[in-house]
Amino acid sequence: MTGEPLLSIDNITKAYPGVVANSDVSFQIQPGEVHALLGENGAGKSTLVKMIYGLVRPDSGSMTFRGAAYAPPEPRIARSTGVAMVFQHFSLFEALNVAENIALGMENPPPQRDLAKRIREVSEAYGLPLDPDRLVGDLSAGERQRVEIIRCLLQDPKLLIMDEPTSVLTPQEVEILFHTLRKLAAEGTSILYISHKLEEIRALCDEATILRLGKVVGKCTPRDTSAAEMAELMVGKSLATPARDNADLGEVILKVSGLSVEPSNPFGTPLRHIGIELHAGEVLGIGGVAGNGQDELLAALSGEVTTAPGTVTLHKNPIGDKGPNERRELGILCGPEERLGHAAAPDMSLVENALLTARQRKNLADSGFVNWGATRAYAEKVIADFDVRTPGPDNVARSLSGGNLQKFVIGREILQDPTVLVVNQPTWGVDASAAADIRQAILDLAQKGAGVIVISQDLDELLEVSDNFAALNEGRLSNVRTTRDLTMETIGLMLGGAHDMHDLDEEAIHAEA
């Protein structure tokens, strides 16, 4: 594969006010190659692919596509040249069916019936099962991604860009996707694969370009390079894996039984008969693909959604009907997934955001009047203890990077010394070293005897921190299993919903034998 490259990127530089997103970046993609673009959040991967796709224009440098100069002023031109892209966030209408959604993205859509036929052909040819007549609102995240991929494939692209495609998939769905991508590559389509998951890249990609702080810091052949070596190139230092001493689980502190909640909006997920027993010192990991009830479960535990008193008990006291502040007083603290707008108010300072959840346990208000001095001191303590990088506590939450704000939000809860901590996606969009810090803080908290529930879509994270594991699927929670006994395959089956019945059968057979 050393002929003329399909796409050659030469000395591309792009600066935004205050930050250089890409500096002097060069690399080549050969025809039929799966090329990985590897880097942490904020390394400049997105900006780079946006330039290839015509969404952003470079300040300097040049691109060559199949031997001709290539500078797409808009995505339409990029698509007609043969570049297609599947975004991390889908742009689909839930109330329309698959074929209608695909037609919306086309320049001259054929009649619905012909289009449906072509969708079926392409989906069968590439092993991506998809029914063109189904409503997108009823599809899983993995199926929605297939809609986006097929939308691209119908254009017959020479280069397919995939931005973090596996973040929403179960392990089985990842296998299906990889199968498709390998087949495409074998037919001569090049793939630019963006990710920070090293094992995936080692399994799939032929070549890798590693970015750090907007610069190319290395190139390697992933199959011949260890994950640790790539991680070091990506982060710039070696990372400590979070660890703690062996856990001794104490008595049950939080108990959830028969918890069912109807969703508040038509595309929400209802919770069905959720049962949880959380012990002192335990980290319970709850896995699941996005949209299977994670937000709803957190809201039911935080008290934003109240239920019958007996469905949630803390130290055997019923608290299901208590609101967020009453639960905080009792020691249940939460960190929601959405940092801006839910865990923190974007345009308020960190001092004001410290008051958001710490008022009760830190006595920050006296008969209704806020003690701003004490609030500021608490915000400063969170910033210092959790190494939050910000010029000061008066900066607004929006001005912090994702990782720093997440450290602030998690730190704000942990420093209140919770009995139970519930966090949803604690390291989503956070760079690797901040993620390691956050995970370590969660483990330290459990070590001190608190119970922690980590809801996450990142299986590696759950395997790393949790003692026990359960999967959330369409609002139902699987049986709890000991994490260290689990294989990736079992986890995949649990996430897909094929768990309890199967287990019961097996146990019945064993009992009979």
Partner 1 sequence: MLRLEKRPAPSRAWTAATPVLAVVLTMIAGGIMFALLGKNPFEAIRIIFWDPLFHESFAAYSRPQLLVKAGPLILIAIGLALGFRAGVWNIGAEGQYIMGAIAGASFGLAFYPSESPLIFPGMIIAGALGGWAWSMIPAILKTRFRTNEILVSLLLVYVAEKFLASAAVGFLRNPEGSGFPGSRNLSRIDSMNNPELISGTGMHWGVVMAFIAVIAAYVLLNKHLLGYQIKLAGQAPRAARFAGVNPNRLIVLCMGVSGALAGLAGLFEVSGPAGQISIDFNVGYGFTAIIVAFLGRLHPIGILLAGLLMALTYIGGELAQLMLQIPAPAIQAFQGMLLFFLLAVDVLSTYRIRFKKEGVA
- What is the binding site for partner 1 (CB under 8 A)? 17, 57, 73, 302-304, 323-325, 328, 334, 336, 338, 341-348, 352, 355-357, 359, 365, 368-370, 372, 395-396, 398-399
Q: What interhelical angle do 350-358 and 402-414 show, nearest 10?
A: 40
Q: Give CA separation, 226 vs 199, 232, 333, in Å.
A: 9, 10, 39
3-state secondary structure of 236: coil
Contact 249, 279 (CB under 8 A): yes
Strand order in the sheet with 317-318: 271-279, 252-261, 312-314, 317-318
CB of 342 to partner 1, least distance (A): 5
Q: Rounded to the nearest 10 degrees, what angle do helices 402-414 and 372-385 cross at?
A: 110
In the complex with partner 1, the residue whose CB is nearer, 174 or 299, is 299
Rounded to a whole number of angstroms, the minimum distance from the CB of residue 135 to partner 1 is 26
Q: Which residues contact 433 (CB under 8 A, 6 or more apart)?
A: 235, 237, 239
User: Shortest gap between Cβ of 46 and partner 1 (angstroms)?
Assistant: 17
Residue closer to partner 1 (CB basis): 315 or 398 = 398
| CB of 141 or CB of 348, closer to partner 1 | 348
Query: Residue 400 Cβ, how far from partner 1 at the closest point, in Å?
Result: 10
* Share of the chain residues as helix, strand and coil, in percent rounded to the nearest 5: 40, 25, 35
How far apart are CB 411 and partner 1 at their closest, in Å?
17
Q: How far is the CB of 320 from partner 1 (least distance, A)?
A: 16
Residue 389: closest CA among 422, 428, 356, 437: 437
Q: Which is nearer to partner 1, 279 or 328 (CB)?
A: 328
Q: Output the smallest distance, CB 71 to partner 1, in A.
A: 8
Instruction: For 4-31, give one letter per residue: b (16+ CB within 10 A) or e.
Output: ebbbbbeebebeeeeebbbbebebbbbb
| Residue 213 or 370 having the CB closest to partner 1 | 370
149: Cα separation from own chain's centroid: 19
Nearer to partner 1, 142 or 320 (CB): 320
CB of 282 to partner 1, least distance (A): 24
d(CA 393, CA 383): 8
Beta bridge partners of 25: 12
Look at the block and give the residue holding tokens 């730190």: 411
Residue (253 or 344) nearer to partner 1, CB: 344
CA 294 from chain centre, in angstroms, equals: 12
Helix (H, G, I), strand (E, B) or coil at 48: helix
Reading the block at residue 127, the tokens are 């092993």
**Smallest distance, partner 1 to C-beta of residue 338, A:** 7
Residue among 22 and 483 whose Cβ is closer to partner 1: 22
141 vs 396, beta carbon nearer partner 1:
396
Using an 8 Å Cβ cutoff, are 436 and 410 in contact?
Answer: no
Parallel/antiparallel/unpaired status of strands 369-370 and 420-424:
unpaired
Give the residue from 363, 365, 341 showing the smallest Cα distance to 353: 341
Q: Residue 258 or 341: which CB sits closer to partner 1?
A: 341
Q: What minimum distance in Å lies between the beta carbon of 266 and partner 1?
A: 15
**What token pair was written down for 212?**
């750090």
